[in-house]
Amino acid sequence: MIWGIIRRKLASSQSVSRIKHPAIRPRGYGQKELLSNGKGCRHAVGSFNYCTTLGSQCCRAYSNKPRREITAMLLPEYFIPLRSRSFSSDTGDLVDAVVPFMGESITDGTLAKFLKNPGDRVEVDEPIAQIETDKVTIDVASPEAGTIQKLVAKEGETVEPGTKIAVISKSGEGVPQAAPPSQEKTASQPPPPAEKESIGKGTTKTETSSLKGTEKTLFPPQPAARAPSSPPKPSEPQLPPKERERRVPMTRLRKRVATRLKDSQNTFAMLTTFNEVDMTNLMKLRSDYKDAFVEKHGVKFGFMSGFVKAAVSALQYQPVVNAVIDGDDIIYRDYIDISIAVGTPKGLVVPVIRNSDQMNFAEIEKNINTLAKKASAGTISIDEMAGGTFTISNGGVYGSLLSMPIINPPQSAILGMHSIVTRPMVVGGNIVPRPMMYVALTYDHRLIDGREAVYFLRRIKDVVEDPRRLLLDV
């Protein structure tokens, strides 16, 4: 009836112009009337849906009366919605946890293990997984606080920076809940087939048990006949069974260390020279001032700071040991960054003490203490291990008496420290007990001659045996 009135009114109009709908655009949500101002018609559209009414065009008559009646007939109470579609259903509740940037020289890593499971609650920046790289272990932190909805990647996969490994729900909705253990156990253990068959035939459990007992009585189990085993051939070695062996894949750090050490042996013409150091004076210096040192600087006074200072002095006396071969050139470096080899449960790492030549004993001890803790905890960064011009390896802490260390590429030499052993020594014509340490210098003989290597190691010995040389620079 409504549209009949409209058609009759439009038929009486002298001229009618048709105006198309303007483009439908989302606008602020709210109940609005359909407006007609003589120039066109507009739909009132919410921010989440839109409606299409009967007819695809609005008509406007130039006479005043039809225009008013049309306007009255097109009020919102006459709307007949035909369809509705959602513009967006994204609530922003789900957040992806991705692999972070791992360093300039690292392009991928291995997903070692997940620290969280689906359904676990996590806070902002809380580690949810660990990535093993060629150098360090990196944590993947949660970008938002919420609940782990699902794990996308699997342990052991190779991942790159930006790879999504987990989905976190900020509200915790839609997270699968683990079934109680009792229900899981019940569901995973179906009834025995014998019971199912007896139930289907109408046999009770008591009858089934009695039948089983009768069957055992009438037909007792016979011992299985053993197949005759042929004696092993005398020529074949008796190897232990495979069940007593365990095959564990190498970690990326272990594979990287193995590759670098083998490359070092294949590249450098390595030669090792030895000497022994009398530790009496350095040990006395430590014993006299260890309490005052801890009280003032907050760290213990160890032997490593003395050897670092001695190495800095020796590198200044023999700068070729601090140099490196690059193609057909020799690069002499006017700075000294000492690398300290640290053994960790996951492998060997070598953090670097930057600008060691500008530090005193206390600053060196603080840096060594901080880097050693980070290396043991697996939180050391790539930047803290990059570079280095000379390496010191202290195998004496493990009880090593003598060894030949391998050069840490691309450096040209490495100093090996060993355990302190009291041995009889001739001092001033008398045989006296002295705390002695063997030291070893492995160097690249392509760059460093034997004379420079011996002088370098001799300078280490002189400074450690008489630390006053550092004060007087002699």
Q: Are strands 329-331 and 270-278 parallel, antiparallel or unpaired?
A: unpaired
The H or E element spanning position 234 is none
Q: Residues 94, 167: contact at Cβ < 8 Å?
A: yes
Ramachandran angles phi, psi of 283, nearest 5°: -70, -35
HSE-up of residue 80 (Cα within 13 Å, Cβ side): 6
Task: Spot the catalytic one: 21, 297, 445, 466.
Answer: 445
Q: What whole-number distance in Å separates Cα of residue 134 and Cα of residue 395?
A: 23
Give dist(CA 44, CA 27) in Å, integer.
8
Assign 276 to helix, strand or coil: strand
Q: Is 17 exposed, middle or buried (0-12, 13-18, 19+ CB in 10 A)?
A: exposed
Is 291 catalytic? The answer is: no
| Three-state secondary-structure class, residue 393 | strand
What's the Cα-to-Cα distance from 58 to each of 7, 10, 43, rounded to whole Å? 12, 12, 11
Tokens representing residue 195 in the block: 């019971």
Which of 364, 354, 347, 345 minimizes the C-alpha distance to 385? 354
Among residues 174, 125, 119, the alpha carbon closest in space to that of 145 is found at 125
Contacts of the segment 137-142: beta carbons below 8 A, 24+ positions apart = 137/112, 137/253, 137/346, 137/378, 138/100, 138/102, 138/109, 139/379, 140/97, 140/98, 140/99, 140/100, 140/165, 140/166, 141/97, 141/100, 142/97, 142/168
Q: Of 76, 68, 72, whose CA–CA distance to 13 is shortest?
A: 68
* Residues 142 and 125 sit within 8 Å (Cβ to Cβ): yes
Nearest to 337 by CA among 369, 315, 361, 366: 315
Distance of alpha carbon 141 from alpha carbon 126, whole angstroms: 5
Angle (CA) 224-228-233 rounded to 5° is 145
Q: Is 449 a catalytic residue?
A: yes
Given 449, 462, 466, 473, the catalytic residue: 449
- List the catalytic residues: 445, 449
